[in-house]
Amino acid sequence: MPARRPIKNPHAEAEQFRRRAALGFAVVLLSLVGLAAWYFKLQVLEHADYATQSEANRIRPRPVVPARGMIYDRHGRLLAENLPAFRLEVTPDKAGDLDRLLEELGALIPLGEDEIEHFRKQRAGARGFHPITLKMRLSDEEMAAFAVNRWRFPGVEMEPYLTRHYPHGDLFTHVIGYVGRIDEQDLEQLGQGGNALTHIGKTGVERAYEELLRGKVGYERVETNVQGRALRTLGRVPAVPGSDLHLSIDAQLQAATVAAFGELEGTAVAMDPRTGEILAMVSLPSYDANLFVNGISHADYRALMDSPSRPQFNRAVLGGVAPGSTLKPFLALAGLDSGVRKPEDRTLSTGMFYLPGNSRGWGDSHRGGHGWTDARRSIADSVNTYYYQLALDMGITRIDAYLGRYGFGRPSGIDLAGEIGGILPSPEWKLKQRNERWYPGDTVNISIGQGDWKVTPLQLVRATGALADDGRLHRPHLVQARRDRFDAPWIPLPQPDPELISERPDNLQVVREGMEMTVHGPGGTARAMSVGAPYRMAGKTGTAQVVSRRGTAAVNPRSLPLHLRHRALFIGYAPAEDPQIAVAVAVEGGGYGGSTAAPIARAIFDAWLLGKLPEGLESIDAPVPDCAPDPTNCRAPAPAQGTAPAPAVAGESRR
In this structure, the number of other CB atoms found within 10 A of the CB of residue 177 comes to 26
Element (H, E) at 78: strand 78-90
Task: Indicate if 325 belongs to the active site.
Answer: yes
Burial of 111 (0-12, 13-18, 19+ CB in 10 A): middle
Given CA atoms 604, 608, 614, 619 in this order, what sign does their dihedral have? positive
> How would DSSP label each residue in 108-127?
HS---HHHHHHHHHHHHTS-
- The amino acid occupying position 403 is L
CA 401 – CA 424 distance, rounded (Å): 10
Q: Which of 540, 525, 542 is nearest to 325 (CA)?
A: 542
CA 334 – CA 395 distance, rounded (Å): 11
Is the omega angle on the peptide bond into residue 639 within 30 degrees of 0, that is, cis?
A: yes
CA 613 – CA 280 distance, rounded (Å): 14
Element (H, E) at 175: helix 173-176
Name the active-site residue from 325, 365, 412, 426: 325
CA 387 – CA 378 distance, rounded (Å): 8
Q: Which of 170, 179, 178 is nearest to 282 (CA)?
A: 170
Find out whether 472 and 272 touch, Cβ atoms under 8 Å.
no
CA 57 – CA 127 distance, rounded (Å): 17
- DSSP 8-state symbol, 327: G
Distances (CA, A) of 318 to 154, 421, 428, 520, 587: 49, 9, 23, 33, 15
Nearest-10 crossing angle of helices 251-261, 598-609: 150
Q: For residues 559-574, b (16+ Cβ closer than 10 Å) or e, as one string?
A: eeeeeebbbbbbbbbb
- Which sequence positions are flagged as catalytic? 325
